[in-house]
Amino acid sequence: MLWKLPNIVVPVEPIFGPITSTLLLSVVDAILIFVIFYLFSRRKKVLPGRVQGALEWLVQSMLGLCQDVAGKEKGRRFFPWVFAIFLYVLLGNLWEIIPGIETFGTINHELPGCANATGFFLADKNLSNCITPWFRPPSTDLNFTLAIAVISVVVTQIYGWRMLGARAQIGRYISLREGPIGLFVGLLEAILELARIISFGFRLFGNLFAGDTLLLVISFLVPFVGAIPFYFLEIFVGFIQAFVFAMLTLIFLTLGTTSHGHEDPEEEHAAEVQHEKQARLEHALGD
Residue-wise pLDDT for 187-206, tens only, equals 888 888 888 888 888 988 98
- Note the maximum CA span of the chain: 76
- 3 state DSSP class of 151: helix
Average pLDDT in the chain: 80
Contact 175, 189 (CB under 8 A): no
Residue-wise pLDDT for 14-61, tens only, equals 887 788 889 989 999 999 999 988 887 777 776 777 777 888 888 899
- List the chain domain ranges: 19-101+136-286
* pLDDT given for residue 126 in this prediction: 65
pLDDT tops 50 at residue 263: no
* pLDDT given for residue 15 in this prediction: 80
pLDDT band at 90 (very low <50, low <70, confident <90, very high): very high
Rg of the chain over CA atoms, in angstroms? 23
pLDDT band at 266 (very low <50, low <70, confident <90, very high): very low
Please tell me which residue, 236 or 51, carries the higher pLDDT value.
Answer: 236
Compute the distance between CA of residue 43 and CA of residue 37 in angstroms, rounded to an integer: 10
- Give this prediction's pTM: 0.80
Contact 257, 159 (CB under 8 A): yes
* pLDDT given for residue 163 in this prediction: 86
